[in-house]
Amino acid sequence: MNHAVLLPILVPMLAGALLTALPAQRLRAQRIVCAIATLLLVPLALVLLRQAATGDITVYALGNWPAPFGIVLQLDRTGAMMLALTAVLAVAALAAAGEATARQGRHFHALFQFQLMGLNGAFLTGDLFNLFVFFEILLIASYALLVHGAGRARIGAGLHYVILNLVASSFFLVAIGVLYGLSGTLNMAHLGLRLAGLPQQDLPLAVAAGTMLMLVFAVKAALFPLYFWLPRAYASATGPVAALFAIMTKVGIYAMLRCDALSFGGPQGLLGPFLHDWVFPLALVTLAIGAVGAVATRTLRAMTGYLVVASVGLLSACVAMQTQAGWAGAMYYLLSTTLCTAGLFLLADALEPEQPREDGALVTATRFAGLLYLVGVVAAVGLPPLSGFLGKVMILRATPAPWIPALWPAVLVSGLLLLIAVSRTGTRLLWRLPHEAERVPEHVPAGDEYLDEDHPALARARVRPDRRKLACCALLLAGNVALTVCARPVSDYVAEAAAQMLDRAAYLRVVLPGQRE
């Protein structure tokens, strides 16, 4: 048995337990343990990615109890890709956090590791109940990380976030309870086999449970009309936490893809009418709201939150397509938008500090920060030549003919609105004039509204952004450049991953060796 599949869950779990046991005063020891555990996930994810690239589906039966009686983890191309993306985000977010963020509240490093445990577990689990368990682990950790550092804005946003997700989790339990009552199993592959053989009179109940399940995932992904918690929550969180949160909405998208393909039969399955008639229109509305919201915002943090909402709309439209090409485009675009929005959250944290400096100085952008902003927004909006544009092209090419009149104009118009939003925000952040620095110290001469850039008084009134956060932002945005340069092998990989996910018979052969469709 390949025990490496268990390590992405085991490493952060043990690290989180150790960090919880360490005294709160030993912050340096906590940072070292958390850094080692997080860095270990990167080579581990690469090993699993290389293993999954062969096309084999690896199944790990906990306690050596076979499915459907025991708990199984399964590793395929899609899961390995998401593990690698999570590891890269985690390294950048933790490095950007530094000591200052950890000192704002208690147990930051332990919560960070439990968040990683929940994310990795959600990408590896092979049954619905453990998907619920890992969802709850990552959500409980995210509740505390969201309000880390306290403050009225965070507490208010966290309250809405907690209440909505608790309600969604209740419906999650109801849905899997109904499915277990109908099928006698919660293993995703086995559930698909059982649902395919249900009596006709039980099909409406199965469709209702599946629809409820998809609605729960839509809440996690922030699909309209249940998106309202996201912009405020992400804008309130610290920059490193918001950067890690960039992948949380993608967990909902991943769960929709996984459950639709394995449990509900894909394009010919039970949820086709719901996805086509409901999820696709709601995805278009979500895309529009994300674009309009980005135009209406005044800060880079809030604008990036709405960029995440817009990306959720486009990804949800791809889920509704239920085709290999549509899902491949979704996976490529998911990689691109997660990296660039996480990078923009870190950039916002560097350029828009939460607390004003004690000396009253204003953080002003450097040329390097301007370059990072340009790369980030070009990838996020979907302008050529970066990966966001390539992802959108893949999605538009995969759009079914009847949907082209709706999706293509929505993507183009939303892209125009997002371009206006990022242009305005970039102008404000990167081209500040000296007289726009509200917190210039009192010793600046009153009449010098347009002081020369080299004036000593003005030089003392300006400070450069945090270099560590800029470096972490550059690391994430380098991923967008790498996706562009390596577009062909990455697109081939995601195409194979989408085809593998839709091949339910392949999962049945390895998860349940004696069963046949």
96-140 pLDDT, tens per residue?
887 777 677 678 888 899 999 999 999 998 888 899 999 889 888
For residue 194, is it within any domain?
A: yes
Residue 472 near residue 302, CB atoms below 8 Å: no
Q: How far apart are CA 38 and CA 30, in angstroms?
A: 12
Total residue count of the chain as it appears in this document = 517
Residue span of the structural domain in which 422 resides: 3-510
For residue 516, is it within any domain?
A: no
Q: How far apart are CA 438 and CA 446, in angstroms?
A: 13
Q: Residue 296 is encoded by which pair of tokens? A: 């209406």
For residue 505, is it within any domain?
A: yes
Q: How far apart are CA 387 and CA 485, in angstroms?
A: 9
pLDDT value at residue 447: 39
How many domains are contained in the chain?
Answer: 1
Q: Chain centroid to CA 147: how far?
A: 19
Largest CA distance in the chain: 85
pLDDT tens for the chain, residues 1 to 517: 578 888 999 999 999 889 888 876 677 888 888 899 999 999 999 999 999 998 888 888 887 777 677 788 889 999 999 999 999 999 999 988 877 776 776 788 888 999 999 999 999 988 888 999 998 898 888 888 887 765 666 676 677 778 888 888 889 999 999 998 888 888 888 888 888 778 888 888 888 998 999 998 998 888 888 787 788 888 877 888 888 888 988 999 999 999 888 888 766 678 888 888 899 999 999 999 999 999 988 888 889 999 999 999 999 999 999 889 999 999 999 999 999 999 999 998 888 766 554 444 556 667 888 889 999 999 999 898 999 999 999 999 999 889 999 999 999 999 999 999 999 888 887 775 444 444 444 444 443 343 444 444 444 456 676 788 889 999 999 999 999 999 999 999 999 999 998 888 888 888 877 655 5
446 phi/psi in degrees, rounded to 5: -65, -35
Tell which residue, 117, 94, 87, 88, has the closest CA to residue 15. 117
For residue 248, is it within any domain?
A: yes
For residue 498, is it within any domain?
A: yes
Q: How far apart are CA 263 and CA 190, in angstroms?
A: 8
For residue 12, is it within any domain?
A: yes
Q: Beta-carbon neighbour count of residue 48 at 10 Å?
A: 24
For residue 515, is it within any domain?
A: no
pLDDT value at residue 443: 43
pLDDT value at residue 43: 94
pLDDT value at residue 436: 46
pLDDT value at residue 248: 87
Q: How far apart are CA 516 and CA 501, in angstroms?
A: 17
Give the global pTM.
0.88
Q: How far apart are CA 517 and CA 515, in angstroms?
A: 7
For residue 372, is it within any domain?
A: yes
